[in-house]
Chains A and B, each alone.
Chain A
Amino acid sequence: EAGVTQSPTHLIKTRGQQVTLRCSPISGHTSVYWYQQALGLGLQFLLWYDEGEERNRGNFPPRFSGRQFPNYSSELNVNALELEDSALYLCASSDRDRVYEQYFGPGTRLTVT
């Protein structure tokens, strides 16, 4: 069974640009979570989607947004990139009935120059 997949693996953008990151959950999982892992800061919760709707978001500005598609895959969009957005962005998925078991993808490494 395939795990959580993310694309792209690495991305380099310049300040002010926009970026879209993609995530495919484990088959059968309806919930998708996005986290930011910045250097020295650990993991920070960004967004939670379930059944196509945003259920919760962390303490991030509105230029971080996303959506979930009918097949439960998800996109994370970041507008007006800033240097401090450089981080590893991790996506996780869980079953609707076992939300305490989140399985993570390999992440997308975003570098903003």
Chain B
Amino acid sequence: GEDVEQSLFLSVREGDSSVINCTYTDSSSTYLYWYKQEPGAGLQLLTYIFSNMDMKQDQRLTVLLNKKDKHLSLRIADTQTGDSAIYFCADGAGGYQKVTFGIGTKLQVIP
């Protein structure tokens, strides 16, 4: 079955760049997503990338996709304390309606 893996924890200093990495196994993935979950809140869709793209930039966020290695990354430039949250990588394969999530990476931003 599909599997999405992420590291559990990342700590960065305010103002630095954060890079959160993810690997997935399903080669039929069509869309790959990044979601943000702040404490006590639901998931917020941050961005997504189609599998035929290598890179997508949206303000402070840059998504890189290496389809050959099945590797996805999220770079947050100029990381702020408000970026502290859990970031979920997700893989839209097996039909758009079924999304497989990683376990989430907790990002801690140190002032």
Contact = CB atoms under 8 A, between A and B. Distances in A.
Interface of A: 4, 6, 31, 33, 35, 40-45, 48, 50, 55-56, 58, 90, 92, 99-107
Nearest to A88: B42
A57 to B, nearest CB: 9
A18 B73 CA distance: 41
Interface of B: 4, 30-31, 33, 35, 40-45, 48, 88, 90, 92, 95-104
Contact of A48 (B45, B98, B104): B98
B48 A100 contact: yes
A92 B35 CA distance: 12
Contact of A56 (B33, B40, B98): B98
A42 B97 contact: no
A104 B48 contact: no
Nearest to B31: A100
Given A104-B35, A105-B42, A43 B98 contact: no
Nearest to B8: A40
B41 A106 contact: yes
Contacts of A102: 45, 99
A4 to B, nearest CB: 7
